Structure 1
């Protein structure tokens, strides 16, 4: 019953996710909560935090206990060449502790490095969130664009069908020529194909969004249109340019990577210095001969008599390491230089991305205004064309040209409108809105 209930809940959830209507906010929130890559990054951050805890605990002394028990059987030859049995039990027990006194602050440097790595992992997660949000916005607006273009193509297909049927009837009574009939039929076939193609484009954009959301594709998946008519306006890019640069996670991650390489060099340098540790221990041993019972004392007596204490300083001084440390330091300098160049490149890349967004917004703003005027004039021209065609002044060929011009203008208006909205949403993502 529990298994059946689980299966039912799973399929019910899947059906619900596929059937509900999604807003752009719903999509982003769902992805940021359920994306597998982001979940992996969260786990990675926890792992890095555990590294900090582990390195901090290296400051504490280590304590260990050990016991070794050996049974020996057989004969043994002494220094005089005599063979004799040496069956015995030999047991030793000890507790020891070791504490690092000096390691050129290696522990502190390892803590610092793991802290930087945790910070880098955090910024990597923020960058993943940013890129995922951008991808969702792109696919979401692509659905809306394709839906509007699909609607235009549907209306054109219906209109072309009506014209074809009208010409077909008029041709039967001798009003229209066979050429006009074939032209209207060809136009209907073309518009029907365009509508079918537009439907498939809409389906493909829905599939891309569901794949990004990591949910199963469904024809019932619906998105909520956005009101982007009133948002078409120019913005002052100087006010937000530097704010985006200062808070960009990919740039911050590049900064942290430089710090990681710097601390790596400091860690390598510690290998050139002596290390001093203190160890202390207590222990005892027990020996029982199976051959000569008279020499064996009781277990407790021997352990008391053989009880020992030990205190030792362990000093390690590096003398020759085959030039490995020198090579590692040179390698570390190269890694730091690589990280610094990567940081500079990342800053340039982000600056160029933002500049392109501003330029695109200006371009699509002007395109939107021009397309809006073009749609208005194309509608008027088309309406006059319809009147001329119905009056027999113009041909079906002339009417199709006017209709296609209107369709092209409407398509350009839609693309400009949503292209502007996409770049506007990009800015919001970069600003952390």
Structure 2
């Protein structure tokens, strides 16, 4: 489900031709979700969590590392090839390859991978939530701009009526039928209506600037929005937006609920990860190693077995040879100890298994396990709290929608009544039975009633759209 565009579909209007491009709500939302900074940050976080997940998958495989070093020794040191002390200056090089693999670690790596998987899915849901939040904010700002535009139209009609009445009174004053005081009163009304129109235009520009800020658009650029009639905006009947039904749908469809569910699952997996840290782990290791030293000039090539002289003992001035007790292997021929010969001659291998048993580490492993269990409780409480808040918001939105519809219906009646009063007043004024100040009063009452009706109409449209947003259903573009 594409929650990010539920609100925008209600007001999706095609681009109209003109000298200046006018943005539809759909275009505003599409641009906002692509350029809004909070949405971009959520996208970056999701990509980072994806990398963490990929790394935890790769951690299931054995590790292999190759080390290479070269250096120069002087002073008293150990010859790396003969392991003997020497004072000679030595040029040396070491090369090794090591492999390690976990054979059994209580599924710590697999549970880590699963936890990272749930965290990544939660980040994707957070990205969707960020898009939804931006779409909802843009829709609210867009509707506020439309309301301001409608107020301009009403103010313009009011000004035109006042101008016509001023011209009519002026003619009667010149004919001597009315005193100049009546003209002065209508001039004052005309000035007030002009100020109201100027204020409405300024408010509309301010609403556009607020919308531009949400879109991350330069405030200096030319910007305007399409202005569809509010009556053309389709809304679901309030009877189909029962709060209990809306809440059930919201629990399934809204990203925040998915985020909470995934966070709980990730926390449960992290408990198993922490628990594995308290148990022994079993692994395999292996390596290859070789070295070179310029102090090793010759390398034994062939060997023989026999009695080997060890030294000489002098007794009574005579030399007596000392030999090994039994036969020993000794080199009989040598080859030149160049770089590659030494690498071959000094080549060694190792294989083995290792057992790591945690005995005492400051109670760190057990503390981490207990913290992980508490984190599960914390995530579950957050899930419960968000569900309660969501339910409260939906029931409150439904109550507000009911009140908004009732207010709109009342304001429609008020407009009808004010229009009748103005029409009667205008007829009485035209035949000289009503003072201009009384006509002005009825005209102002009609203006206020129309403005109140527009505000109530846009208010209830947005509140119904909010309930549709919670419900998670697509909205028709047209009636």
TM-score by length of 2: 0.78
Q: Helix, strand or coil for the counterpart of 2:41?
A: helix
In 2: Cα distance, 1:66 partner to 1:18 partner: 68
Q: Is the 8 A contact 1:19 1:222 kept in 2?
A: no
**Structure 1 residues 64 and 327, CA gap change in structure 2 (3 angstroms):** closer
1:283 aligns with 2:286: no
Matched with 1:273 is: 279
Output the aligned Cα RMSD.
2.9
Q: Distance in 1 between matches of 2:18 and 2:136?
A: 21
Q: CA deviation at 1:213?
A: 1.8
Offset from partner CA, 1:376-409 (integer Å, 9 cap, x none): 2211110110111222222222112211221122
Query: Aligned runs of 1:164-179 on 2, under 5 Å?
Result: 164-171=166-173, 174-179=176-181
Q: Unaligned stretches of 5+ in structure 2? A: 1-16, 79-84, 300-333, 475-479
Per the TM alignment, residue 364 of structure 1 is displaced from its structure 2 partner at its CA by 2.2
Distance of 1:24 and 1:76 partners within structure 2: 78
Aligned residues of 1:133 and 1:429 also touching (Cα < 8 A): no
Match of 1:67 in 2: 68
Bigger fraction of residues in helix = 1
Matches within 5 A, 1:284-323: 284-289=290-295, 297-323=337-363
Aligned length: 413
Q: Which residue of 97, 117, 120 corresponds with 1:118? A: 120
Q: Rg larger in 1 or in 2?
A: 2
Per-residue CA shift, 1:306-336, capped at 9, x if unaligned? 2211012222221222233343344334433
Hey, what does 1:25 align to over in structure 2?
A: 26
> What is the aligned counterpart of 1:260 among 266, 287, 292?
266
1:158-186, Cα deviation, whole Å (9 max, x unpaired):
22233334434544554434543443233
Q: TM-score, normalised by structure 1?
A: 0.86
> 2:381, 2:196 → 1: CA distance?
49
Q: How does 1:177-326 map to 2 (within 5 A)?
A: 177-217=179-219, 218-226=221-229, 228=231, 231=234, 233-238=237-242, 239-289=245-295, 297-326=337-366
Structure 1 residue runs of 5 or longer lacking an equivalent are 1-15, 78-82
Deviating above 6 A after TM superposition, structure 1's stretches of 4 or more consecutive aligned residues are 290-296
Q: Which residue is equivalent to 1:6?
A: none
Match of residue 465 from structure 2: 425
Equivalence for 2:319: none
Distance across 1 between alignment mates of 2:398 and 2:419: 31
For residues 117-140 of structure 1, the C-alpha deviation after alignment (integer angstroms, 9 at most, x for no partner) is 111111111111211111111111
Describe the SS at the equivalent of 1:97. strand
